[in-house]
Amino acid sequence: MADSQSHPRRRAIKNIVLGSLAMGAAHPAFSGNDPQTKVKEVTRLKGNIHHSVCRWCYNDIPLEEFCVAAKKIGIEAIDLVGPKDWPVLQKHGLYSSMCNGAEINLVDGWNHTEFHAKLIKNYTEMIPLVAKAGYKQLICFSGSRRNLDDETGWKNCMEGLKKVIGLAEKHKVTLVMELLNSKIDHKDYQCDKTAWGVELCKRIGSENFKLLYDIYHMQIDEGDVIRTIRENFSYLSHFHTGGVPGRREINQSQELYYPAIMKAIIDLGFKGYVAQEFIPTPKDAEGQLASLREGVMICDV
């Protein structure tokens, strides 16, 4: 059996990661001399990918400090931030690439009619706020099945979402349902396969309803990531990353080869955002930001 390091894919990603880490080791960005920002110099990126990052993965770092560091890493936007934090992002010249705050939670979603009144109220109030702030995407969730069959789930989601999609169209805001795995992290979640989400998109029939393709989640529940993205690209408006297994760093420690996935979406003409959504292994802020920069560099093809 050949040495695993001789495998061309493993060797390629090893070179990307080692290069990134070497730059970090010699780079003042990781000197730790400035406890307020941790990252001191701007990273030069290729510009083919619009980089974002999910705020919740770095909640231990104060938002002001995180914004400064993210900007210097080359990140353009932050995901999963609501109205109260938008002014902080704007202060630092960062975009809110996937807004949140209208959902109830991940389990009580559009597939159950008993939640429709609350959801319709929330989204009716939030959509104009998103538009007024200059943002374009607002997340939503199917919710847990609770013994619903697919047909009833589609019917209920469509019935509820149709009551707010006109408002979204009017304000040029896209409602984006996230694909989550139901095998490990979100057991019983209904929109757990790309095909299920695409069918819902077809039934709603609006360019203002799309899917958030979470690469981590879909690798777990269905695999065949690149072909699935290619075949369903017109229904996808956003991507999240994460290493499988464990949602850790997207380097050689996990099974996905992110440069190839990023190349595929670039080749398809994707102009939206790719948000890092892995949980960094280090416990300290400097280490977490180093992991974030490494992930951005891996995806910067």
pLDDT tens readout for residues 61-101: 999 999 999 999 999 999 999 999 999 999 999 999 999 99
User: What percentage of residues in the chain have a pLDDT greater than 90?
Assistant: 85
Other C-beta atoms closer than 10 Å to the C-beta of 83 total 16
Residue 277 has pLDDT above 60, yes or no: yes
The answer to whether residue 193 scores a pLDDT higher than 60 is yes
Q: Can you tell me the distance from the alpha carbon of 285 to that of 282, in angstroms, rounded to the nearest whole number?
A: 8
Q: Left (φ > 0), alpha (ψ -120 to 50) or beta: where does 160 sit? A: alpha
* Mean pLDDT, residues 223-245 taken together: 98
pLDDT beyond 50 at 13: no
Task: Give the pLDDT score at 38.
Answer: 54
CATH code for the domain defined by 41-299: 3.20.20.150
Residue 44 confidence class, pLDDT cut points 50, 70, 90: confident
Break the chain into its structural domains and give their ranges.
41-299
From the list 83, 193, 74, the residue with the least C-alpha distance to 138 is: 83
38 vs 128: which has the higher pLDDT: 128
Residues 117-149 as b/e (b if ≥16 CB within 10 A, e otherwise) read: eebbebbeebbebbbeeebbbbbbbbbbbeebe
Section 57-64 average pLDDT: 98
Q: In this predicted structure, what is the pLDDT of residue 30?
A: 38
Provide the pLDDT for residue 150: 98
The span from the first CA to the last CA of the chain, in angstroms, equals 31
Task: Identify any residues that bridge with 32 across adjacent strands, giving them in sequence order.
Answer: none
Across the range 211-230, mean pLDDT stands at 98
DSSP code for 51: E
CA-to-CA separations, 232 to 28, 197, 211, in angstroms, rounded: 42, 10, 10
Q: What is the CB-side half-sphere exposure of residue 21 using CA atoms within 13 A?
A: 11
